[in-house]
Copies of this chain bind each other. A is one copy, B any other.
């Protein structure tokens, strides 16, 4: 999509998401909204829960254990992690309307080119070279970059300085000694955390993609350097394919390649087995959420983009209709950096003992992403694919991710049909299939409403139901219908939700 078309689509999508109760905001809508804060609405929260459940499912199946650390933690932790000193945005202001903007993002948006990691003078040069003006009023930008901390500070008790955490990862490292005990000192071990994080961005934009409060999901693999090279689970998946766009391919203007893990190591795209396995795991999480293969690629960070301690870093990007290719997950080899920092600041030993009796600080490979972006991606892709005609707008969410599984409608609100519908609801109770009952207004309007919310199936109770105890199941996208006995309804819907609709 061209930039203009994209902006139109962004606006249309945001409006749709609010109207259809997926995302409200910026919040508080009722008062004066603050940029970068959104709420998940009556349908949206159900979808967000499903996204989180999928993350949990894939990680737990692969042997990861979840933890939940407080969102608030004291200054010293963020001193150790480097956030307190290094976690700030480059800010440039407009000389006319006094608005402030994040300089690097402004340049990227105006030029379409990455400028991450640039120094202040490079940012100023890029603004000059590209003749960038204030996006609000077209005024001249001030010739100065200032630094704005992203940390949100508060006070506990009477005087303890603490911060709302800017990421989950650091807080996942802190109970390291507990993990060593639980896993009986044996590397590798794997832990993850899903939870809120906070960044006081100076000018949050792009809807759910850059918020001031967001939900992260970050998984950590604690592993020795030897195990990275020789990682037993690798063997089982070495022929699986990943869409890799290495630094090399990017620089020579070539497209991403579909490469098996085995070949990715042979070609030196990837450095070690454990890292390759982690990339694949990230890919599986996103596939499980229902993001289609052809909309994903892994882009390697350029050497100047990476954190100074990172040994390697690739982003999983999703091609959004609203914003183009967008980073939705990063896999980082953080080496021993974090554990060493916390050992230094806490003056404690953070080590494990290897089989030959040596004490080592494990490396950490991190799979880091947010829940909000895949949530947004699912809706972006479904909304783009929607079918609009005179009668209906259909949101084609994957059935396994729909906020509600099935609408239950008596054809009309009399003749005992609502009572019969209650029987149907009863038959589905406790099954885990989420129903939505509606008996008011025309049946057509009721269908339209659920189509627009992405609900995959509707069950209709009509006059024949009173005689034959059968109901009609209608599929959202194809409008195909099938009739089943009430006693078989639960099993049929379970099958449809897992494997898709079939007429017989």
* Contacting residue for A39 out of B35, B42, B67, B429, CB 8 A: B67
Cβ A155 vs Cβ B152 within 8 A: yes
Roughly how many angstroms separate A348 CA and B32 CA in the complex, as a whole number? 12
**A48 contacts across to B, CB distance below 8 A:** 68
- Given A175-B39, A178-B21, answer yes or no on A27-B70 (Cβ-Cβ < 8 Å): yes
**A171 contacts across to B, CB distance below 8 A:** 39
Q: Which residue of B lies closest to A201 (CB)?
A: B157
Cβ B200 vs Cβ A157 within 8 A: yes
Q: How many copies make up the complex?
A: 2
- Counting CB contacts under 8 A, is A373 at the interface? no
- Counting CB contacts under 8 A, is A286 at the interface? no
Q: In the complex, which residues 174-215 of chain A have their Cβ closer than 8 Å to any Cβ of chain B?
A: 174-179, 182, 184, 186, 191, 196, 198, 200, 202, 212-213
- Counting CB contacts under 8 A, is A434 at the interface? yes
Cβ A41 vs Cβ B76 within 8 A: no
- Counting CB contacts under 8 A, is A37 at the interface? yes
Q: Which residue of B lies closest to A441 (CB)?
A: B184
**Measured between C-beta atoms, what is the minimum distance from A39 to chain B in Å?**
4
Roughly how many angstroms separate A104 CA and B238 CA in the complex, as a whole number? 63
Roughly how many angstroms separate A155 CA and B36 CA in the complex, as a whole number? 14
Roughly how many angstroms separate A72 CA and B56 CA in the complex, as a whole number? 26
- Counting CB contacts under 8 A, is A337 at the interface? no
Q: Which residue of B lies closest to A18 (CB)?
A: B178
- Counting CB contacts under 8 A, is A365 at the interface? no
Cβ B174 vs Cβ A27 within 8 A: yes
* Contacting residue for A348 out of B30, B74, B440, CB 8 A: B30
Q: In the complex, which residues 135-189 of chain A have their Cβ closer than 8 Å to any Cβ of chain B?
A: 148, 152-158, 160, 162, 164, 171, 174-179, 182, 184, 186
**Measured between C-beta atoms, what is the minimum distance from A22 to chain B in Å?**
11
Roughly how many angstroms separate A425 CA and B437 CA in the complex, as a whole number? 39
* Contacting residue for A77 out of B31, B36, B160, B342, CB 8 A: B31
Cβ A156 vs Cβ B440 within 8 A: no
**A132 contacts across to B, CB distance below 8 A:** none
Q: In the complex, which residues 221-256 of chain A have their Cβ closer than 8 Å to any Cβ of chain B?
A: none
- Counting CB contacts under 8 A, is A400 at the interface? no
Cβ A67 vs Cβ B49 within 8 A: no
Roughly how many angstroms separate A63 CA and B434 CA in the complex, as a whole number? 10
Roughly how many angstroms separate A43 CA and B179 CA in the complex, as a whole number? 11
Cβ B200 vs Cβ A345 within 8 A: no
Roughly how many angstroms separate A106 CA and B429 CA in the complex, as a whole number? 47
A40, A153, A345: residue with the most chain B Cβ atoms closer than 10 Å: A40
**A27 contacts across to B, CB distance below 8 A:** 69-70, 73, 174
Cβ A28 vs Cβ B200 within 8 A: no
Sampled A-B contacts (15; CB under 8 Å): A21-B182, A27-B73, A30-B174, A31-B345, A34-B156, A34-B157, A34-B162, A39-B171, A42-B65, A42-B178, A45-B68, A71-B196, A72-B212, A152-B154, A154-B164
